[in-house]
């Protein structure tokens, strides 16, 4: 479905219908619905990973397709691949990633065992989370597997991944984790481009209505790189918001595996033709939100933007800012700045 057709469907609003707004947000940037060419270009640039068939068997299993179980794994591939695209955009100073650079990024996700972020390696690393090959992943499990795989390839990968445990972004903890990746930093603030993943639980069996507006505000933060979630037994890669809906890429299309992504391989099946949409209250309450921080300044901006959102909302919303205290040798009552979600 083309994006302008999606826009023409109208917003899905709980309780009553209301006129659609002109404002649509995609990965932290605001667009006008009237600028369809601009939006279509941005959407088709997104990496789209779907179910595949006829790829080499995964490890000792008999699986040669991930149809029916690999949707969250494909969503994990999408958020990581988009982060690598974002990294390349910053490096070249342009919003346009060349076809050769795109091919190089996508080759790391090819459906072959030797590709670092293939469906094979993701499924196999699920064993660290007590997941069998062919078993469905949740958002937190997927985040942890992304962290494991990127750590294994840290010497060649231009970014690192940090998963905020217990739904809390602790600034010092993040900075320390990144510093370990950098090593010698010549006296400067140690930093390596960061994909920050924050697993959240926003309700029991459905999203708490109090969180809906605040969640959409998260999607508007400049460094937002997407969220992996969905609805029960169906995972999606959330990339934006329009009115009371969230926009997403759907991995539930089974395509034949491309195999090795070399200079001869067609990339057409990795480019989406459009986005789907769903009412925000229809999403599963378990999701993982991502932020791409190319520099340390970007990270501090994310923290500041979340604080701003907190100041704008009233009542018991999704997060609070606090300064927990702990004791260390020689530094009793040392403050640790953190953003706690819950």
For 197, 200, 221, 337, the CA distances from 307, given in Å and listed in that order, are: 17, 17, 11, 12
Total Cβ atoms within 10 A of residue 180 = 12
Q: Is 276 a catalytic residue?
A: no
Q: Is 250 a catalytic residue?
A: yes
Residue 331: strand pairing partners:
328
Q: How far is CA 33 from the centre of its chain?
A: 23
Q: Is 252 a catalytic residue?
A: yes
Catalytic residue among 66, 217, 245, 250: 250
Cβ neighbours for 74, distance < 8 A, ≥ 6 positions apart: 49, 50, 51, 66, 119, 235, 251
Catalytic residue among 252, 296, 310, 321: 252
Rounded to 5 degrees, what angle do the CA atoms 164, 165, 167 make? 80
Catalytic residue among 66, 71, 111, 217: 71
Pairing of strands 245-249, 234-242: antiparallel
For 214-285, list the strands marked E by DSSP: 224-231, 234-242, 245-249, 255-256, 276-279
Is the torsion defined by CA of 308, 311, 312, 313 positive or negative?
positive
Residue 322: strand pairing partners:
338
The residues assigned a catalytic role are 71, 250, 252
């Amino acid at each position: 479905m083309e994006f302008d057709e999606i826009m023409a469907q109208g917003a899905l609003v709980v309780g009553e219908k209301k006129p659609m707004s002109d404002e649509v947000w995609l990965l932290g940037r605001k667009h006008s619905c009237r600028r369809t060419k601009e939006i279509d270009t941005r959407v088709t640039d997104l990496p789209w990973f779907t179910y595949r068939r006829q790829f080499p068997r995964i490890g000792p299993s008999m699986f040669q397709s991930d149809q029916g179980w690999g949707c969250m794994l494909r969503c994990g591939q999408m958020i990581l691949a988009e982060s690598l695209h974002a990294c390349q955009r910053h490096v070249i100073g342009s919003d346009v990633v060349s076809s050769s650079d795109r091919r190089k990024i996508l080759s790391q996700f090819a459906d072959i065992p030797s590709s670092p972020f293939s469906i094979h390696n993701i499924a196999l690393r699920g064993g660290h989370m007590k997941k069998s090959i062919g078993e469905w992943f949740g958002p937190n499990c997927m985040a942890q597997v992304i962290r494991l795989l990127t750590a294994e390839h840290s010497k060649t990968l231009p970014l690192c991944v940090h998963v905020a445990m217990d739904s809390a972004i602790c600034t010092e903890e993040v900075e320390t984790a990144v510093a370990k990746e950098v090593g010698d930093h010549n006296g400067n603030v140690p930093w390596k481009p960061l994909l920050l993943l924050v697993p959240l639980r926003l309700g029991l069996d459905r999203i708490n209505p109090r969180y809906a507006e605040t969640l959409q505000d998260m999607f508007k933060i400049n460094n937002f790189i997407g969220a992996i979630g969905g609805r029960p037994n169906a995972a999606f890669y959330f990339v934006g918001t329009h009115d009371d809906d969230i926009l997403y890429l759907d991995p539930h299309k089974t395509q034949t595996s491309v195999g090795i992504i070399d200079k001869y391989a067609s990339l057409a099946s990795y480019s989406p033709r459009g986005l789907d949409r769903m009412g925000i209250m229809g999403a599963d309450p378990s999701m993982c939100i991502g932020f791409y921080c190319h520099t340390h300044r970007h990270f501090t901006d994310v923290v500041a933007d979340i604080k701003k959102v907190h100041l704008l909302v009233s009542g018991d919303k999704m997060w609070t800012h606090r300064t927990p205290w702990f004791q260390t040798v020689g530094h009793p009552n040392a403050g640790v700045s953190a953003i706690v979600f819950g």
